[in-house]
Amino acid sequence: RVAPPGARRAPLAAGSRPPRLLALAALTPTKDQRTLVRALSAVRDLDWTARLVGPIDADPDYAAAVEAEIAAAGLTGRATVTGPKVGAALEAEWAAADLLVLPSRTETFGLVVLEALAHGVPAVVGAGTGAVEALAAGAEAGGAAPGRAVPPGEPAALAATLRAWLTTPALRDAWAHAARTRRTGLPGWDLTAAQVLGALG
């Protein structure tokens, strides 16, 4: 038996103008922020900002490569590597976010996607990863998806999805509405704990 992770109750994100993309993960090849940077370079003609939040010491060479790629693409000041954030500083990142982007090549579940939905923030995730399951959390049968799954490691596919989201207000509104709807149906950690205790009998 598997007890799915829960989500803590969180304030609804207010978002930003221009739209703010949030990538919340350690900077590592598995999380694949370089694919995100390449996708952002392909939509540089549009109005947005991006925050790459997470530890940079797990793979310092990769983190340096991400920052170098941001600079080479001319995205300095628009795409920012912040390092890790916790507590109020992390909540401020969530409050300003309009879309979580998690281009991971692999994910066992994608707890950060649950955190996004708990804040009413939609997400773009890697197809075929555990993050897809997280994106479906709290869904009713036939309910609208609060985001989309894209093929991992394909900047063009991610860029196409970001361009559609950035240029189609109806799509942005639909994803945001779906995320806020999911927010009320997410399982809490109390349910997870009860399931674990029940399994232990």
Tens of pLDDT, residues 22-66? 999 999 999 999 999 999 999 999 999 999 999 999 999 999 999
Q: Chain-wide mean pLDDT for the chain?
A: 90
Nearest to 150 by CA among 166, 175, 128, 135: 128
Rounded to 10°, the helix 169-183/155-167 angle is 90
Phi and psi, residue 104, nearest 5°: -55, 145
CATH top-level class of 20-135+143-200: alpha beta
- Low-confidence spans in the chain with pLDDT less than 70: 1-6, 138-142, 187-201
Q: What is the pTM of this model?
A: 0.89
Alpha-carbon dihedral sign for residues 47, 151, 102, 170: positive
Show me where the domains of the chain are located: 20-135+143-200
pLDDT given at position 142: 59
pLDDT tens profile 180-194? 999 887 865 444 433
pLDDT given at position 138: 64
pLDDT given at position 153: 98
pLDDT given at position 101: 99
pLDDT given at position 198: 46
pLDDT given at position 187: 66
Any residues with CB less than 8 A from the CB of 111 and at least 6 apart, and which? Answer: 5, 134
DSSP class of 144:
P
Do 94 and 22 form a contact (C-beta atoms < 8 A)?
yes
CA dist list (Å): 99 to 62, 113, 158: 24, 10, 13
Q: Under the phi-then-psi rule, with left for phi > 0, alpha for psi from -120 to 50, and beta for the rest, what region is 110? A: left
pLDDT given at position 75: 99
